[in-house]
Structure 1
């Protein structure tokens, strides 16, 4: 449900600048010695047989599952303190860290030998990030006179186009949607194959993209074979179940965060972190923004990108918009959607709601539609950052299956908001609701009304969106991530 300091480090160092307003010296933000293994251990050529390494991770996961209830009790006892800490983080966002200097290249980055990189992604969104990161990695390497990296790893067919020799495809499996138990044999085999490649291929670096459920155990395995691990897109442990960060800390050498409030949280939990900015900014840099939403008269309706989310939310949202149209007869409604394979489902639901005459369905034209909209009514998700790009005041909902899920959202999350726009500024810019059943229909309707008409609520929302956009940062996340990854590999090349 929850969908990111400046420094001038010496070449290939990982010094982090103190947060703005912080009086500690740079040295206090150096990685803790206990978190970094020695070079001889890091480049260990031996380790457990792959099957045993995977079995150890499976046992570790079972142990965590058994300890879950105790950790939940401990969490509730400290929840208020944790919430206060996270709220402070949300209000102290920082710009991306300056990437390490690679000119002149570190001696460990041999110009003649290509880096051997194991790159892994487990879902379509992660695969997209991985593809862009590979492009940036090759570009940065070439700019510094380094050979093009040799790539192996896990991912979908689209990685083939980037020259990756794949040893498994978790992306295709994730798209099939099997339950955890049914998919367990597949993932055990996948981890075993990956472990064998990490042991025998001895890559200089493993880059894992998102998907901590797969990459935390795989990171443990890689480090056991002496392979340093960089994780791109830090997990949202700050949002719920924060006790998981201990296992994460042991699984990665460097975490690359994409949201500006994440570095202080991970610093506090002793995870080596560099903030690189959000990769969506790289894509949005090429997208013309809405020049003036105030001149428009169309409401964007965004009901989600998954079939189950669509079916839960779209009929309810259409009912609310139908009531809004009674107050504003001139209001036009556009439903843009980039996933054309969901067109039959969307058309079916719109027809069932009797809204065919007043909902303009537009498939494959998200940003072209948003450029002509005045406001939005959206399900929570990454699309909120697309709406932020166009500065559209937005009411956000997330309708869940049961009252238990709604209760958990209110009592288990450590953040006061779930909409990414609100998280970026640490206050409610976009009114949001998570609920089961009929929900707060009247409250949502009133929020949409105040965001639609000119007035203080709409003006405040526009100002908040400007602040959120400024905190999201500038484009260049993929290049910054590539720089940090090369620097981390350079730290380890001496013992190859």
Structure 2
């Protein structure tokens, strides 16, 4: 028998989705303490106040093989279908991961739930023909990038730009400065951001390391830090360097779970394309962005389906190239190092990039993604006005 009380169901299948959803769940529980929130999700969603029906996202970190992942998602979908039939959620909030979430949306839609997408599927980048499917499977899309609202609305999909969680709270520079006070000094200071997914690290880490080694030979006083997402990633990176016969120099250290501090510390970042580029932009640090791809797969498939002039988030938001992007990248480390040298040896070029990054960061001002998402979801769930005790002072910081 369906539950009488409105139920909000979140489904997130990657650590990034766990991050996005957790801040929104915390805001919902702050404004509506009695809200019934269930989830297929991760530990941060649990800590924010959701009842976790099943844990997800661990395979995204460990790198489950393709066929095993397909079988796993079929099992998850069957479990969700049984649960939905029994509990009949009022609102379903799919978080990112459209390939995993679209089948779940079909299940919840058939059961009568309103579907509110948290993080817009990037149909503007590739697969725009899927817009018809999205129209069928969503009631509203909550967009994290400024240009997305118009793109979806122009194609008949209700959408709202809510800001981006990375910009909900300014970095605490005093705390960051204290954290990096005893970190290595040198000039220049280079950050390596190898990504969080196993495939990203396999494809790109040796490339970043080779670029770093060339820069180190040309700048003897240089120091570097690799920003690893968690302790378990460190031996993976060490093994990738060894497998590629790439030297790991003494000048290069690793810090885990401290991305904002690494950004604060560095003069320049060499970064694998992804959301972290906005995290760097938030602190106005110059960067070179790369994403190594298969030339064959690009020629056969990707070049025909990708529809954007740029691939990286700062350039997409700006509508022009403000950051050097080597995406897709098919060759070695020299082009990455060359673009880094251009920024290191030209203070004017580095300052121009900092100004441009400040301008795109300003486009997120006036929004608080977690609060605006929570308010929209609450409206669809019929939860009514928030409790009087809810104030901006109680906002929960988005964790990075």
TM class by shorter chain equals 0.7 to 0.9
Residues 187 and 221 of structure 2 are in contact (CA less than 8 Å); yes or no, is this contact kept in structure 1? no
CA 173–469 in structure 1, closer or farther in 2 if over 3 Å, else same: same
- For the 8 Å contact 1:406–1:434, the answer to whether it is kept is no
Could you tell me how far 1:328 is from its partner in structure 2? 2.8
Cα distance in 1 for residues equivalent to 2:39 and 2:172? 30
Aligned equivalents of 1:437 and 1:187: distance in 2? 32
Task: List per-residue Cα deviations over 1:409-428 (Å, max 9, x = no partner).
Answer: 44431111111111110111
CA-CA distance at 1:374 after TM superposition: 1.2
The CA deviation at 1:324 is 2.5
* Cα deviation, residue 231, structure 1: 1.1
**Distance in 1 of aligned mates of 2:66 and 2:265:** 42
CA distance in 2, matches of 1:215, 1:183: 14
TM-score (norm. length: structure 1): 0.68
Are the equivalent residues in 1 in contact too, given 2:290–2:329 (CA < 8 A)? no
CA distance in 1, matches of 2:6, 2:119: 22
| C-alpha distance 407-287 of structure 1, shift in aligned 2 (>3 A) | farther
- Counterpart of 1:67? none
How does 1:223-238 map onto structure 2 within 5 Å? 223-238=109-124
Paired with 2:92 and 2:322, the residues of 1 have a C-alpha distance of 38
Structure 2 SS opposite 1:339: coil
**Structure 2 alignment gaps of length 5 or more:** 178-185, 385-400
Q: Is the 8 A contact 1:312 1:401 kept in 2?
A: no
> Could you tell me which residue of structure 2 aligns to residue 120 of structure 1?
11
Which residue, out of 309, 321, 324, partners 2:212?
321
Distance of aligned partners of 1:361 and 1:431 in 2 relative to their CA distance in 1, 3 Å threshold: same
Q: CA deviation at 1:288?
A: 5.5
Residue matched to 1:82:
none
1:427 aligns with 2:304: no
How many residues in Structure 1 have an aligned counterpart in Structure 2? 373
Q: Indicate if the aligned counterparts of 2:23 and 2:48 stay in contact, CA closer than 8 A.
A: no
RMSD, aligned CA: 2.9
Residues 410-421 of structure 1 aligned to structure 2 (within 5 Å): 410-421=303-314
Larger-gyration structure (1/2): 1
Q: CA deviation at 1:196?
A: 2.9
Contact 1:266 / 1:273 at 8 angstroms: preserved in 2?
Answer: yes
Deviations 1:111-148 (A, max 9, x none): xx853222221222212222221111112225xxxxx1
C-alpha displacement at 1:371, in angstroms?
A: 1.6
Tell me the residue number matched to 1:27. Answer: none
Q: TM-score, normalised by structure 2?
A: 0.83
Q: Distance in 2 between matches of 1:149 and 1:182?
A: 35
* 1:447 paired residue among 335, 339, 345: 339
Change in 2 beyond 3 A, CA 1:486/1:196: same
What SS does the corresponding residue of 2:306 show, helix, strand or coil?
coil
Alignment of 1:181-200 (within 5 A): 181-200=67-86
Aligned mates of 1:354, 1:187 — CA distance in 2 = 39
Q: Describe how 1:50-199 pairs up with structure 2 within 5 A.
A: 115-141=6-32, 148-156=34-42, 158-175=44-61, 177-199=63-85
Asked if the contact 1:298/1:373 (under 8 Å) is kept, the reply is yes
The 8 Å contact of residues 282 and 358 in structure 2, kept in 1 or not, is answered as no
User: Are the equivalent residues in 2 in contact too, given 1:285–1:475 (CA < 8 A)?
Assistant: no
1:462 and 1:140, CA in 2 relative to 1: closer, same or farther beyond 3 A?
A: same
Local SS of the residue matching 2:120: coil
Instruction: Map 1:261-340 to 2 at 5 A.
Output: 261-282=147-168, 285-286=171-172, 297-340=188-231
Distance 2:370 2:68 in 1: 35
Would the aligned equivalents of 1:289 and 1:389 in 2 still touch at CA under 8 Å? no
SS of equivalent residue, structure 1 residue 237? coil
**Is 1:395 aligned to residue 288 of structure 2?**
yes
Q: Which digits, 9 at most, give the CA deviation of each residue in 1:217-276, with x for residues without a partner?
A: 222222222211111111101000111111111111111111111001100111111111
CA separation of 1:470 and 1:181: change in aligned 2, threshold 3 A: same
Take 2:125 and 2:132, find their aligned partners in 1: how far apart are those partners? 15
Alpha-carbon spacing, 1:184–1:469, altered in 2? closer, same or farther (3 Å): same
Say if 1:386 and 1:158 are closer, same or farther in 2 by CA, change over 3 A: closer
CA contact (8 A) 2:145 2:163 kept: yes
Residue equivalent to 2:387: none
| Pair 347,195 (structure 1): closer, same or farther in 2 beyond 3 Å | closer
- Residues 422-476 of structure 1: per-residue CA shift (max 9 Å, x gap): 111011111111345534x444333111211234322321221111211233562
- The answer to whether 1:253 aligns with 2:253 is no
Q: Check conservation: 2:61, 2:196, Cα contact below 8 A.
A: no
Please say if residues 266 and 272 of structure 1, whose CA atoms lie closer than 8 Å, have aligned partners that are also in contact: yes
Q: 1:286 to 1:409 in 2, by over 3 A?
A: farther
2:160 aligns to what SS in structure 1?
A: strand
1:380 is aligned, of 273, 283, 287, to: 273
